[in-house]
Amino acid sequence: MGSNYDDNVSYSDFTLGHEELETIEEVLQKDLVDGGVHSVLLIDMAGNIVAKKDNGNCEHDLYSLAALASANFAAVDTMAKIVGENEFSLLFHKGEEESIHFSKVNPEFLLITIFGKEVTLGLLRLKVSEAIEKINSIW
Amino acid sequence: MAFVNMKTKEVQAKIVFYGPGRGGKTTNLEYVYSKFRERIKTDMVSIKTHGDRTLFFDFLPFDIGKIMGYDVKIQLYTVPGQVKYNATRKLVLKGVDGMVFVADSQRDKREKNHESLKNLQENLAAYKKSIFKIPLVLQYNKRDLKETPLMPIEMMEKDLNKQLKAPSFPASAITGENVVPTLKKIISLTMASLQNVMK
């Protein structure tokens, strides 16, 4: 086997402090769950859950959802590159009762929002972008 | 990139099963799932083709209890083994903390094992990770086969593990032989590598 890589590069681990997490969860609760969203997840691109909030009525398997969401996002992102786009700005799956919206927070994190018919897509996108701005100001 | 949550005292680590197509990666996860059914609260997720081949990945979350005061959630993934699925295979490796390389012991799969290991090295390098540094366990699978000629373990060690010098297990994913020891080994190596962040 060749050694055409930098042997000194070790892999990085990510930790978030108690206070940062509290602030993020507060943003997710106030901006999104209180605004009528059913469930919201902040995940990393590897599919790990960083923070989650819901309205108490959600029984989804969130760990599997996070794994699939990060993979789905990565696949769509790669498709964008293939057709010459930097990224697709709107990622959204519409269901009859529940819909899922994906939004990139920064190169490492994604915000996944699950919402019902009572929230319109336009309003949701507005709230999500406000929440992302607040989260990014924490880092 | 394991995620450590200081608030909920939870660690999520990603372990990926890699190897040539039809080598038994999914079967490893299925065995773990059936063996620890009562400890795994959710269903195993598989994204596969109509022909039952892994298209994207299999996913199995696995709670192993507390280590150093942290709740440890191990996320087990497999990659699609077929050569043509390299784009999706590479995506699954993102943020990996530990690897199991499942090699096929059948004599006519010698070249395929080699190709897949080389492909793993390249794909890890794309994420700036070294195959020599990441926690890694080799598994020589399909030792139960009687009908087809198998490679001797010494030969597989020489072929695949001469430079890596990783812990290795002869195994049979279908009968379950050495599946759990493989998993225990990679979990302990992975957790040891994460110790510096779990203080």
Interface pTM (ipTM) of the complex? 0.77
Chain-chain contact of A46 with B56 (C-beta, under 8 angstroms): no
Distance, in Å, from the CA atom of A124 to the CA atom of A16, rounded to the nearest integer, reads: 26
Amino acid making up residue A22? E
Are the beta carbons of A64 and A88 closer than 8 angstroms? no
The answer to the question of residue A1 being in a domain is no
CA distance B156 to A75: 34
How would residue A11 be classed by pLDDT, with cut points 50, 70 and 90? Answer: very low
Q: What is the chain A residue with the closest CA to B133?
A: A10
Judge whether A68 is closer than 8 Å to chain B, CB to CB: yes
pLDDT above 60: residue A39? yes
**How close B94 gets to chain A, by Cα (Å)?**
5
The CA distances from residue B65 to B39, B68, B137, in Å, are 10, 10, 22
Q: Other C-beta atoms within 10 Å of B38: how many?
A: 6
The alpha carbons of chain B give a radius of gyration, in whole angstroms, of 16
Beta carbons of B5 and A16 less than 8 Å apart: yes
Please tell me the distance from the alpha carbon of residue B103 to that of residue B108, in angstroms, as a whole number: 12
pLDDT band at B55 (very low <50, low <70, confident <90, very high): confident
Domain at A45, CATH number: 3.30.450.30
- Best of A25, A45, A48, A68 to disrupt the B interface (most B CBs within 10 Å) is A48
Domain count, chain A: 1
- pLDDT of residue B51 exceeding 90: no
Q: Is A59 on the interface with B (CB under 8 A)?
A: no
Please judge whether B56 and A15 are an interchain contact, meaning their C-beta atoms are less than 8 angstroms apart.
Answer: no
Checking if the pLDDT of A135 tops 80, the result is yes
User: What single letter denotes the amino acid at residue B154?
Assistant: E
| Domain assignment of residue A108, given as a range | 18-138
User: Is residue A9 assigned to a domain?
Assistant: no
Alpha carbon distance A17, A14 (integer Å): 10
If you average pLDDT over residues A63-86, what whole number do you get?
Answer: 92
The answer to whether position A117 is within a domain reads yes
For A68, residues 6+ apart whose C-beta sits below 8 A from its C-beta are A47, B45, B47, B59
The whole-angstrom separation of Cα A63 and Cα B140 is: 30
Evaluate whether A42 touches A50 at the Cβ level (below 8 Å): yes
Q: Is A40 a domain residue?
A: yes
Residue B182, classed as helix, strand or coil, is helix
Task: Go through A18-49 and write b for each residue having 16 or more CB atoms within 10 A of its CB, e for each that does not.
Answer: eebbebbbebbbebbbebebbbbbbbbbbbbb
Residue A13 lies in a domain: no
Instruction: Supply the pLDDT for residue B8.
Output: 86
For residue B199, the model assigns a pLDDT of 64
Chain B residues whose beta carbon lies within 8 Å of the beta carbon of residue A4: 125
Q: Does B99 touch chain A (CB under 8 A)?
A: no
Is it the case that residue A9 has pLDDT exceeding 60? Answer: no
Q: Which of B3, B48, B118, B191 best probes binding to A when mutated, by most A CB atoms within 10 angstroms?
A: B3
Residue A10 pLDDT > 50: no
Determine whether the interchain pair B194/A13 forms a contact, defined as Cβ–Cβ distance below 8 Å.
Answer: yes
Position A7 confidence tier, pLDDT thresholds 50, 70, 90: very low
Count how many pairs of residues, chain A against chain B, have C-beta atoms within 8 Å. Answer: 106
Is A4 inside a domain boundary?
Answer: no
Q: Verify whether the Cβ–Cβ distance B6 to A16 is below 8 Å.
A: yes
CA dist A75 and B92 (Å) reads 10
State the pLDDT at residue A15.
Answer: 65
Q: Is B6 within 8 Å of A46 when comparing Cβ atoms?
A: no
For chain B, the average pLDDT equals: 93
Find the CB nearest A5 among B4, B6, B125: B125
Q: Two tokens at B100?
A: 């199991």
How many beta carbons lie within 10 A of that of residue A76, not counting itself? 13
Distance CA A62, CA A45 (A): 15
User: A10 lies in a domain?
Assistant: no
Strands (E), A56-133: 91-93, 99-106, 109-115
Name the residue among B2, B57, B134 with its Cβ closest to that of A71: B57
Inter-chain residue contact B42 with A64, CB threshold 8 Å? yes
Q: Which two tokens stand for residue B137?
A: 């366990």
Query: Is the residue at A75 inside a domain?
Result: yes
DSSP per residue over B157-170, as a string? Answer: HHHHSTTT---EEE
- Domains of chain B (ranges plus CATH)? 3-197 (3.40.50.300)
Q: What is the band of A2 on the pLDDT scale with cuts at 50, 70, 90?
A: very low
Q: What is the pLDDT, as a whole number, of residue A4?
A: 38
DSSP 8-state symbol, B137: E
pLDDT digits (tens, 9 = 90+) for B129-144: 999 999 999 999 999 9
Higher pLDDT, B196 or B103: B103
Q: Write the pLDDT tens digit of every residue in B161-197.
A: 999 999 999 999 999 999 999 999 999 999 999 887 6
Give the rounded percent of residues in chain A with a pLDDT score beyond 90.
67
Which secondary structure element, helix H or strand E, spans residue B11, and what is its range?
strand B10-18
Amino acid residing at B162: K
